[in-house]
């Protein structure tokens, strides 16, 4: 019997990090950072030290930043704007453009210090860069399915991931048991998927890509997963924007055929019933849905995080 856990906060954050709105925050933040750097260079060039051209090339910002760092940043901004346009068209693979920001910052902070900037522009540049670093890292971890378990729940670190800012009432989620994919199989549609392996986080899976392995457990020596393993993934869907509990929900893949008795009181749904739910008491007999195109009627237990 398949068993899954619905962790509403985890799912909500994956939705946030894979949204066009969140990506647009990255675009705006990165642009503000670039503007601060360009303003700083313009101001610096207005009052050059007398021995400026005698200094090592690494200490000449118009060469290092003007000819290398800033053009690279501008190219990344163009890519982000293109990625945002694709996201608005529904192409979630465009989230991968956030990885360009991560790469840019890794190279710039290692090789090209910003300590030549005036105090005001340096403060702006540093603040915007820190924010863009958080946004881009969250998006990259989401699109590549790299979230270890508990990082988006009880071990959420606001300093590393940004303020949590949950709504007063979380959305209501349920599993779509019609869409289950095994590691290595082609993902049939974009979405947040929950692994059967309970010691692993939910992840964003992209249509047309191979379903990934689950990142299982936590390494006791570093903040990372312990190992990978094959698993089954089931699609989770939002069915209401509010009214949901933040409590983790244990899910069992209970089903019953027409003519059998209901094993558990609750709402049950059937593909033969146009996916509409019906409430059954334990011991009731599941009915046959007449004139349906699904053949034999099968009822599935519906479990959500509804309060």
Q: What is the pLDDT confidence band of residue 88, given thresholds at 50, 70 and 90?
A: very high
Distance CA 83, CA 96 (A): 8
* Domain boundary pick from 143, 174, 207: 143
Residue 42 tokens read as 């313009």
Helices (H), the chain: 8-17, 20-45, 61-64, 70-88, 98-111, 119-143, 158-161
- 2 pLDDT tier (thresholds 50, 70, 90): low
Q: Is residue 189 part of a domain?
A: no
As to burial, measured by CB atoms within 10 angstroms (0-12 exposed, 13-18 middle, 19+ buried), residue 250 is: exposed
Spatial separation of the C-alpha atoms in residues 277 and 306, rounded to whole Å: 14
Q: What Rg do the C-alpha atoms of the chain give, in angstroms?
A: 25
Q: Given 3-state DSSP classes, what are the helix, strand and coil percentages for the chain, each rounded to the nearest 5? A: 40, 25, 35
Please state the rounded mean pLDDT for residues 271-275: 72
Report the pLDDT averaged over residues 148-174. 93
Inside any domain, residue 110: yes
pLDDT at residue 1 tops 60: no
**What integer is the mean pLDDT of 154-175?**
93
Rounded Cα–Cα distance for residues 205 and 248 (Å): 21
Q: Which residue range forms the structural domain that includes residue 95? A: 12-143
Residue 119 lies in a domain: yes
Q: Among 64-68, 133-137, 139-143, 217-221, where is mean pLDDT lowest?
A: 217-221
pTM above 0.95, yes or no: no
| In a domain? residue 177 | no
Q: Is residue 263 part of a domain?
A: yes
Domains: count for the chain:
2
Across-strand partners of 174?
237, 304
In a domain, 164, yes or no: no
Q: Of the residues 143, 174, 195, which one is the last residue of a structural domain?
A: 143
**Residue 166 belongs to a domain:** no
pLDDT of residue 126: 97
Last residue of a domain, one of 126, 143, 160: 143
């Amino acid at each position: 019997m398949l068993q899954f856990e619905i962790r509403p906060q985890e799912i909500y954050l994956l939705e946030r990090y894979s949204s066009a709105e969140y990506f647009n925050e990255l675009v705006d933040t990165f642009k503000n950072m670039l503007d601060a750097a360009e303003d700083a260079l313009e101001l610096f060039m207005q009052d050059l030290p007398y021995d400026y051209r005698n200094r090592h090339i690494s200490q000449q910002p118009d060469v290092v930043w003007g000819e290398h760092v800033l053009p690279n940043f501008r190219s990344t901004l163009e890519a982000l704007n293109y990625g945002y346009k694709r996201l608005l068209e529904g192409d979630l693979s465009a989230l991968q453009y956030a990885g360009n920001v991560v790469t840019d910052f890794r190279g710039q902070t290692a090789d090209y210090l910003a300590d030549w900037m005036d105090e005001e522009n340096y403060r702006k540049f540093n603040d915007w860069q820190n924010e863009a670093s958080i946004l881009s890292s969250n998006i990259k971890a989401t699109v590549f399915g790299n979230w270890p378990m508990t990082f988006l729940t009880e071990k959420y670190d606001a300093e590393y991931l940004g303020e949590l800012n949950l709504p007063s009432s979380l959305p209501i989620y349920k599993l779509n048991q019609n869409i289950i994919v095994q590691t290595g199989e082609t993902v049939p549609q974009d979405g947040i998927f929950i692994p059967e392996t309970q010691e692993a986080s939910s992840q964003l899976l992209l249509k047309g890509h191979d379903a990934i392995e689950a990142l299982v457990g936590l390494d006791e020596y570093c903040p990372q997963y312990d190992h990978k393993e094959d698993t089954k993934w089931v699609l989770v869907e939002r069915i209401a924007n509010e009214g949901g509990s933040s409590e983790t929900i244990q899910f069992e893949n209970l089903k019953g055929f027409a003519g059998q008795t209901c094993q558990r009181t609750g709402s049950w749904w059937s593909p033969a019933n146009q996916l509409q739910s019906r409430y059954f008491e334990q011991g009731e007999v599941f009915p046959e849905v007449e004139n349906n195109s699904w053949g034999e009627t099968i009822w599935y237990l519906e479990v959500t995080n509804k309060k």
